[in-house]
Chains A and B, each alone.
Chain A
Amino acid sequence: MTSTDTARVVHGPKRPGTPALEARGLTKHFPVHGGLRRGRVVRAVEDVSLALPEGTVTAVVGESGSGKSTLSRLLTRLIAPTAGELLLDGEPVGDSARARRGYAGQVHLVLQDPFSSLNAVHSIRYHLQRPLKLHHGLRGSELDARAAELLERVSLTPAERYLDKFPHELSGGQRQRVAIARGLAVQPRVLLADEPVSMLDVSIRLGVLNLLDELRERERLAILYVTHDIASARYLADTVVVMYAGQIVESGPAVQVTDEPAHPYTRLLLSAAPDPQRREPVLLRGRGAPPSLIDPPSGCRFHPRCPLAMPVCAETAPPVRPAAGDQVAACWLLDPERAPGTTPA
């Protein structure tokens, strides 16, 4: 368990002022259904503190089961956290129905699969106008004008050609643009994107990523980009946050984390990632699969797979330590007392 007596480290891009959205100690334990022993839980997300300042892209990287998708749903309030709190512009968010709707107008989530995130029975117009009606009370001709404008903002032009189409008449990339346009209709401060390009064809992925980057720039959105593709995280994000088994193990400026990873898990991910420039054969830094989150390993959750594990790793969870600059990692190797003479390279 992460010790709570030490000062909490908030991950994410460092910017002056109040972040648009901040999560403090966000934790989610799902009850296990169907087990004979009651009270067992899946520790999907454990004590995550994350700040998303406006005009930044934060990438959350991890394997499946690392808790990154759960985190995005916690941040959208689609699921209720077991512990922790959310602050929107520094204010704790309320729990009333009104507060929830207000929150939905500030924080939006773009889902992974554009083929199923749009309802086949509704037109593009319907999809775009619902948030306009819900959050801005727009009526009549204003609706059409705004919907058309939204399509233009995601480069679906001329807009009239798309408004009356149905999802099945569009390509995957166009659908994902519509999904993003729907998010923009909300006029959110924060845009969460859960693997927004992984279902898309390779040649159109960059188009969608570049669109997100433009929105960050133009609309000053705080963007959270959830992905398993560390190369695209490096491409798009200001800050990369690496999750393993429900915990953040490393975070820092994107290029720094990918060029000089501090945590052995980040190094494992990088060594496994496809890299056409690789000359020498791959040396996989660690083996095995992520652990069960019902019964996670003691101490550092990565220690059973870690090639550099020390006795202390199995006993006590490592605290988050600075590595270099804004880069931090939760690893005993960064503790000068615990690992004298060993510096991760």
Chain B
Amino acid sequence: MRALRSPKVLAGSVLLLLLLLLAVVGPLIAPHSADWQADRTSGLPLAPSGRFWLGTDQQQHDLFSRLLSGGRDTLLISFLAGMFACLLSVVVGVTAGFVGGLVDDLLSALANIFLALPGLLILMVIMKPLPPSETSNPLLIGSVIALTAWAWGARVLRAQTLALRAADYVEAARVIGERTWRIILFEVVPNLLPILASAFIFTVIYGIGTYTALAWLGVISPASVTWGTVLNEAQSSGAAVNGYWWWYLPPALAVALVGIALALVNFGIDEVINPRLTSARTGRARGVVFRLGLTPVLKTAAPEPAAAPSNPVPLKEAQP
């Protein structure tokens, strides 16, 4: 939990919790229901005002209410996609890495093929014909998105499993007669957790982007309002060209905010996975500059060195 001490990670975690909380209670605290319309006669979106904090769209829906309501499905589905994808990547990656041989060759080839496929385009082809009854099922959509998202995690986990499989403690577990499934579950997988967490975060970022994009493009039309559907309506009404920025900007920022929160949390995970990449900040804060091949010299009388940058003294040409 030392990762939480980093301000970046703390900010990310707080932001993420806040967003999740909003997703849960958003529809309840919204001033109006998502489908509520203010004035059916006017055909022009209203700019933000005291009455409609984020303005309205062409159908006079209250966009603030839509923003609050739209997070629930969006976040639910991207987290589901992240979970399913992680599950898949653990199964594939750990199996490939631990079993090795032909199984590894086949699973790795499969993962590489999925990595080369443009996931979003395939999802478009698959999902376009689906009726709304199915596209509003979070479990289904989440798992279909996961199908295009597991390969990266599987690759990373496979590489790490391959390294762990050769670790001495795995051999030691074999020596005392542990069964293979126990070795995998209790010796290997716990050591994969940081990488798995990082893979999860990236998959959720991918999931939210993909799901929103699918809704924005009108490939899927979920029964309820999501950030993606708001963007879709804005897109088809030419909101960007017409300058209705309050229509598409808030949901876009909301998606961006989720991504940023997750990325900030990932900084903490990175620190656990590879402390080397972040640890050198300590010295600089005290004004010491570390350069490869030029160890700093801080000559002070005090037992504890004070903060003073080393000043390379010009060479006195040595006397014979």
Nearest B residue (CB) for A186: B176
- Asked whether, in the complex, the Cβ of A104 is within 8 Å of the Cβ of B169, the reply is no
- Asked whether, in the complex, the Cβ of B177 is within 8 Å of the Cβ of A78, the reply is no
Out of A118, A134, A135, name the residue touching B172 (CB < 8 Å): A118
- Asked whether, in the complex, the Cβ of A116 is within 8 Å of the Cβ of B178, the reply is no
Chain A to chain B contacts (Cβ below 8 Å), 23 pairs:
A76-B175, A100-B177, A103-B177, A104-B176, A109-B175, A111-B168, A111-B171, A111-B172, A117-B169, A117-B171, A117-B172, A118-B169, A119-B173, A119-B187, A119-B191, A120-B191, A130-B173, A130-B178, A131-B177, A134-B177, A182-B172, A182-B176, A185-B176
Which residues of B177-230 have CB atoms within 8 Å of chain A's CB atoms? 177-178, 186-187, 190-191
Closest Cβ of chain A to B83, distance in Å, is 22
Contacts of A105 in B (CB 8 A): 177
Closest Cβ of chain B to A330, distance in Å, is 31
B174 sits at the interface (CB 8 A): yes
- Asked whether, in the complex, the Cβ of A108 is within 8 Å of the Cβ of B175, the reply is yes
- Cα separation A185 to B177 with both chains bound (whole Å): 12
- Asked whether, in the complex, the Cβ of B167 is within 8 Å of the Cβ of A116, the reply is yes
Closest Cβ of chain B to A76, distance in Å, is 6
Which residues of A79-107 have CB atoms within 8 Å of chain B's CB atoms? 100-101, 103-105
A179 sits at the interface (CB 8 A): yes
Known: A104-B177, A131-B176. 17 other contacts (CB 8 A): A76-B175, A100-B177, A104-B175, A108-B175, A108-B176, A109-B172, A111-B171, A111-B175, A117-B172, A118-B172, A119-B169, A119-B191, A121-B191, A130-B178, A182-B172, A185-B176, A186-B176
Contacts of B178 in A (CB 8 A): 130, 134
- If the complex has contacts A119-B191, A120-B191, A121-B191, are A130 and B169 also in contact, measured as CB distance less than 8 A? no
- If the complex has contacts A119-B187, A121-B190, are A101 and B168 also in contact, measured as CB distance less than 8 A? no
Nearest B residue (CB) for A103: B177
Number of interface residues of A (CB under 8 A): 27
A113 sits at the interface (CB 8 A): yes
Contacts of A104 in B (CB 8 A): 175-177
Which residues of A124-147 have CB atoms within 8 Å of chain B's CB atoms? 130-131, 134-135
- 1/0 contact trace for B144-177 toward A, CB 8 Å? 0000000000000000000000011101111111
Contacts of A109 in B (CB 8 A): 172, 175
- Asked whether, in the complex, the Cβ of A101 is within 8 Å of the Cβ of B175, the reply is no
Contacts of B173 in A (CB 8 A): 119, 130
Contacts of B169 in A (CB 8 A): 116-119
Which residues of B246-273 have CB atoms within 8 Å of chain A's CB atoms? none
Nearest A residue (CB) for B166: A116
Nearest A residue (CB) for B175: A109
B residues contacting A by CB (< 8 A) are: 167-169, 171-178, 186-187, 190-191
Closest Cβ of chain B to A147, distance in Å, is 14
Contacts of A122 in B (CB 8 A): 186
Contacts of B175 in A (CB 8 A): 76, 78, 104, 108-109, 111
- Cα separation A78 to B173 with both chains bound (whole Å): 11
Contacts of B176 in A (CB 8 A): 104, 108, 130-131, 134-135, 182, 185-186
- Cα separation A105 to B134 with both chains bound (whole Å): 56
- Cα separation A25 to B190 with both chains bound (whole Å): 40
Contacts of B186 in A (CB 8 A): 122
- Cα separation A87 to B243 with both chains bound (whole Å): 86
- Cα separation A327 to B175 with both chains bound (whole Å): 32
Contacts of A119 in B (CB 8 A): 169, 173, 187, 190-191
Q: Could you say which of B168, B171, B186 has the most chain A C-beta atoms within 10 Å of its C-beta?
A: B168
- Cα separation A109 to B176 with both chains bound (whole Å): 8
- Cα separation A221 to B89 with both chains bound (whole Å): 45
Contacts of B171 in A (CB 8 A): 78, 111, 117
Closest Cβ of chain A to B174, distance in Å, is 6
Closest Cβ of chain A to B188, distance in Å, is 9
Nearest B residue (CB) for A135: B177
Closest Cβ of chain A to B269, distance in Å, is 16
- Asked whether, in the complex, the Cβ of A116 is within 8 Å of the Cβ of B177, the reply is no
Closest Cβ of chain B to A163, distance in Å, is 18
Closest Cβ of chain A to B148, distance in Å, is 32
Contacts of B172 in A (CB 8 A): 109, 111, 117-118, 179, 182
- 1/0 contact trace for A158-182 toward B, CB 8 Å? 0000000000000000000001001
Closest Cβ of chain A to B100, distance in Å, is 11
- Cα separation A78 to B187 with both chains bound (whole Å): 17
Closest Cβ of chain B to A186, distance in Å, is 6
Contacts of A100 in B (CB 8 A): 177
Closest Cβ of chain B to A287, distance in Å, is 33
Closest Cβ of chain B to A132, distance in Å, is 10
Nearest B residue (CB) for A130: B176
- Cα separation A57 to B236 with both chains bound (whole Å): 83
- Cα separation A116 to B167 with both chains bound (whole Å): 7
Closest Cβ of chain B to A180, distance in Å, is 12
Contacts of A182 in B (CB 8 A): 172, 176
Closest Cβ of chain B to A143, distance in Å, is 15
